Amino acid sequence: MLLFIIRRILQTIPVLLGVSLVVFLIMQMVPGDPATLLAGEGATKQTIEMLRHELGLDRPIIYQYFDYVFHAIQGDFGESLRNNRPVLDEIMIRLPITLQLALASILITVVLGMIAGIISATKQYSMADISIMIIALLGISLPSFWFGLMLIYFFSVNLHIFPVAGWGTIQHMILPAITLGAGGAAIVARMTRSSMLEVVRQDYIRTARAKGLKEHIIIYKHGLKNALIPVITVVGLQFGALLGGTVLTESVFAINGLGRLIVDAIRTRDLPMVQGGVLIASVIFVFMNLAVDVLYRYFNKRIDLN
């Protein structure tokens, strides 16, 4: 297992290099000049050129990229072009907020999704099954920003139960977490239902029933563990999607997280901030995939980790 983890960590290096290269090239193609934006509308051409030289934007692109990678390996992501503060410091201020939101959302995704999927599978073709699948279909189809606005309208504006926006308390976290986790819960519910239906038809489940074991023991002790493998895959992918989905959710609820930081950096062409934010998010996503592979092995010893 240890060798597998080390090998996977080493495999992330080219992935992260590829991510940094793609983001760097995309930002180079975005219209607008960071030096012009920073200098202001009334700046002279000479002032802009001096600013470009100070920022290193007048050097060939290939040199700019390799210089960035060299410093990033040492933990130096450069300084923000907007406020001249270290990029890593800015990210570390915003990242905990985004991680809290993502973890709260994944909790909703897993708990609601698995409970709904199990109920739906054990009561196949019943009204409960049909109702859950219709709700799951709606959850997948509804845009998260629209769903968030509706939650704000009903629970904040009309009922005054939760705050409209901001961050800092449990009350601030509930609506954004539901907004972000609802779509994932719908996906997990459908996957859990499908996986459970396949498992409950296996011979060992029929044998357990023939022995007279109680149904809840058969479902939760024997069936669920074997049905979790594809569900774990979906949950791992959903966590990565949640990191990306926080961009819209943080904008809707005015949360100063990593997603909103990256959006603001894109608007001002703050290249170091965009690259640093995307790279940190990529590292988290890659290690989530590693955690999924380790959980595979835990729930199914027959899986080969080579």
DSSP secondary structure string for all residues of 151-187? HIIIIIIIS--S-SS--SSHHHHHHHHHHHHHHHHHH
HSE toward the beta carbon, residue 177, CA cutoff 13 A: 23
Cα(3)–Cα(187) distance, rounded to whole angstroms? 33
Cα(55)–Cα(70) distance, rounded to whole angstroms? 16
Q: Please state the pTM of the whole predicted model.
A: 0.78
- Compute how many other C-beta atoms are within 10 angstroms of the C-beta atom of residue 188: 27
Tokens 């239902």 -> residue: 193
Tokens 């709260």 -> residue: 104
- Compute how many other C-beta atoms are within 10 angstroms of the C-beta atom of residue 64: 17
Phi and psi, residue 155, nearest 5°: -90, -20
- CA dihedral 45→66→68→13, nearest 10 degrees, is 150
Cα(128)–Cα(116) distance, rounded to whole angstroms? 9
DSSP letter assigned to residue 214: -
Instruction: Name the amino acid, one letter, at 11.
Output: Q
DSSP letter assigned to residue 300: -
Task: Please give the pLDDT value at position 300.
Answer: 62
Task: Please give the pLDDT value at position 131.
Answer: 92
CATH 1.10.3720.10 domain extents, the chain: 88-299
Task: Please give the pLDDT value at position 304.
Answer: 58
Q: In a 10 Å sphere around its CB, with 0-12 CB exposed, 13-18 middle and 19+ buried, how is residue 139 labelled?
A: buried
Going from the first residue of the chain to its last (306 residues), give the mean pLDDT of each consecutive group of 10, the final group possibly shorter.
76 82 80 72 79 79 85 83 85 89 89 90 87 88 86 90 86 90 88 86 82 80 77 77 76 86 82 84 80 71 58
Q: Which DSSP string do the residues of 245-277 spell out, in sequence order?
A: HHHHHHHHTT--SHHHHHHHHHHTT-HHHHHHH
Task: Please give the pLDDT value at position 175.
Answer: 92
Residues forming a β-bridge with 86: 79
Cβ neighbours of residue 102 under 8 Å, at least 6 residues apart? 180, 239, 242, 243, 246
Asked if residue 79 lies in contact with residue 231, where contact means CB atoms within 8 angstroms, the answer is no
- Both structure tokens of 185: 């819960």
Task: Please give the pLDDT value at position 299.
Answer: 65
Under CATH, to which class is 88-299 assigned? Answer: mainly alpha
Kindly report the three-state secondary structure assignment for every residue of 61-111: HHHHHHHHHHHHHCCCCCECCCCCCEHHHHHHHHHHHHHHHHHHHHHHHHH
Task: Please give the pLDDT value at position 176.
Answer: 92
Q: Which residues of 156-172 are buried (b: 16+ CB within 10 A; e: fewer)?
A: beeeeebbeeebeeeeb
